[in-house]
Structure 1
Amino acid sequence: MTTTEALLLGRRRRLAVTMVGGFAGLVALSLAVAVVADRADVPTAAALTDRLVPLLVFYAPAPIAAVGGYARCGGPACLAVGAVPAVVFAGLAVAGTVFGVPGVGGDAPLGGVAAAFAAVGVSGAFVGYCAGVTAALLGDLVGIGSGGGDDEE
């Protein structure tokens, strides 16, 4: 597989799936803990999740996508990392509405909030992916980097 194909489409599919799935699990867990901490009125947990959730939702997609781009996971996987917070948030809101969890779902404009999360996440992931690809190409140029090892699956 050429370098261009590896960077654009991905060479390490298992790593890409692990990256996206692991990030989705982490975001889902942190959002669920935030809801439970808010419902249980636990101030310490609520303070922790008030700092952790924005970090995961808004800031984490860019560095994760940069690592994925450098590791040659491919553009689709790296951009999917940016969409993960929006999908998880929408799923949590729909589940909260269906199961009647107070304070989750309800009258909020779900489409608008999820679209805003997706816009922020995907744009950050795109920038991170571009940085990762640039780092991979520069590493290949000087003879170091992630180009070795075929993990094609």
Structure 2
Amino acid sequence: MTTTEALLFGRRRERAIGLVVGFSVAVGAVAAVTLLASAVDLRPVATLSARTLPVLVVYAPAPIAAVGAYARCGGPACLAVGVVPVVLLGALLAVASTIGAPGVAGGAWVVELTGSFLIGSVASAFVGFCAGVTAALVVDLVGIRSDG
């Protein structure tokens, strides 16, 4: 498999799955803690996790996708780092608003919030993927082996 094929389509399926699932679990855990802390009225925890969640969803996909691209996990896995956690967050918010969790009002805002997070997260993952591919190609050009 050539370097370009490995970078675009991936060579390490297990590592790619671990990358996407691990990040999704982290986002889901922070979202669950935020909702739970809001429900039981733990203001410091709810405030901290509510401020951490947007940073985790929008900004964290870039470095994670960069590492995934450098490790040759492939473009689909790196872009999934931007999509899967936001879909998980949207599903969690939809379920919370459906069951009437305190502090979570139902309505179209769930779709709007998820859509805006999705745009930012996918853009962040794409930039990270491009940075990781560039780093891998530069390292290969210099002659240092980056593919194990």
TM-score by length of 2: 0.92
Residues 87-127 of structure 1, C-alpha deviation per residue, up to 9 Å, x if partnerless? 01211122113333233351243322211111100001000
Runs of 4+ in 1 over 6 A off after TM superposition: none
Aligned residue in 2 for 1:9:
9
1 CA distance for matches of 2:54 and 2:94? 20
Deviation at 1:45, TM superposition (A): 1.2
Asked if the contact 1:20/1:77 (under 8 Å) is kept, the reply is: yes
Deviation at 1:37, TM superposition (A): 1.1
- Matched pairs, number: 148
TM-score by length of 1: 0.89
Q: CA RMSD in A?
A: 1.5
Aligned residue in 1 for 2:85:
85
Match runs of 1:41-60 below 5 Å: 41-60=41-60
Aligned residue in 1 for 2:114:
114
Aligned residue in 1 for 2:141:
141
2 CA distance for matches of 1:102 and 1:55? 23
Asked if the contact 2:39/2:101 (under 8 Å) is kept, the reply is: no
1 CA distance for matches of 2:91 and 2:107? 15
User: What percentage of residue pairs aligned between the two structures are identical?
Assistant: 55
Aligned residue in 1 for 2:127:
127
Residues 64-106 of structure 1, C-alpha deviation per residue, up to 9 Å, x if partnerless? 0000010000000000111133201211122113333233351
Closer, same or farther in 2 for the Cα pair 1:59/1:145, shift >3 Å? farther
1 CA distance for matches of 2:43 and 2:145? 45
Instruction: Report the AA paired with residue 99 of structure 2.
Output: F
Asked if the contact 2:59/2:124 (under 8 Å) is kept, the reply is: yes
1 CA distance for matches of 2:56 and 2:9? 25
Deviation at 1:145, TM superposition (A): 3.9
Instruction: Report the AA paired with residue 63 of structure 1.
Output: P
Asked if the contact 1:94/1:105 (under 8 Å) is kept, the reply is: no
